[in-house]
Amino acid sequence: MKRPQLKRPALLDARNITRLYGPNQGCQDIDFTLHQGEVLGIVGESGSGKSTLLRVLSGLEAPDVGQVIYHSTQQASAAAGSATESLDLYAIGEARRRALLRMEWGLVHQNPRDGLRLGVSAGANVGERLMALGQRHYGDLRAAGQDWMERVELDPRRIDDAPRTFSGGMQQRLQIARTLVTQPRLVFMDEPTGGLDVSVQARLLDMLRTLTRELGLSVILVTHDLAVARLLAHRLMVMRQGRVVEAGLTDQILDDPQHPYTQLLVSSVLTP
């Protein structure tokens, strides 16, 4: 996979993020920058703090200490083009945070049922994200739904079927279509292949790699699976007991790990 140039503009800055629930529970002193078009993987065993960090970064849970700074592109005048506005995620208020998740960000849950509306059709799940951006034409919404179902390798003829009639892997594909239809600048993925069998995982990962490349997505990916991280992530952060113990380019870390914990993960002596 072609690696991005890390000189690209910053999209998200995490500054001294700490969110604790007790001794060694949560995350502590996390600092990093995510660049535009980059996939950052966060790996570690269960309880390492990676999911807590993802919730803080995505606006779902406020940190005890620290800042999440998002560099949002605002449309200016036609002459000036676009401008960048740096937003402190937990200083802008809940309404604007929700607007970011709806308009510029996307979130892919481990359990697709958490990211889908099970009471409406597959097409409605995709279309309602576009409606949140102001699109109202029924024909256009339906066409977008069919197009995105095809892009995630779902049969577009099932556009009127309820998500509960789909398999787990198909539900995950539908959740991804629902998330990406608005072409978000930043996507958070929480164990997107968790709970799926190996053959379904392989197809889903191949699809995700293609879509992230084609759309130029910036992604923060949480996973315990180093094979998933190697396939999708440009850079890795390895977490243990709430702290980042090693960070760098994915190939560098997985081929030549420096920290003893990372070495255990890579050698599979420690089961994630």
Tell me how crowded residue 199 is: count the other CB atoms within 10 A of its CB: 9
Q: Would the pLDDT of 269 be above 70?
A: no
Tell me how crowded residue 174 is: count the other CB atoms within 10 A of its CB: 26
CA distance 80 to 195: 48
Q: Give the per-residue pLDDT at 74.
A: 57
Contacts of 31 (CB under 8 A, 6+ apart): 14, 15, 16, 17
Q: Give the per-residue pLDDT at 136.
A: 84
Q: Would the pLDDT of 54 be above 90?
A: yes
CA distance 209 to 175: 16
Contact 20, 64 (CB under 8 A): yes
Tell me how crowded residue 75 is: count the other CB atoms within 10 A of its CB: 9
Mean pLDDT of all residues in 39-68: 95
**Residue 239: both structure tokens together:** 């977490």
**176 three-state secondary structure:** helix
pLDDT digits (tens, 9 = 90+) for 228-254: 999 999 999 999 999 999 999 999 999
Token pair 């996979």: residue: 1
For 8-92+218-272, the fitting CATH number among 3.90.850.10, 3.40.50.300, 3.30.70.20, 3.40.50.1820 is 3.40.50.300
pLDDT digits (tens, 9 = 90+) for 22-49: 777 899 999 999 999 999 999 998 889 9
Widest CA span of the chain, in angstroms?
58
**Helix (H) or strand (E) segment spanning residue 68:** strand 65-75
**Residue 43: both structure tokens together:** 């790996």
Q: Give the per-residue pLDDT at 75.
A: 45
**Residue 151: both structure tokens together:** 């892009």
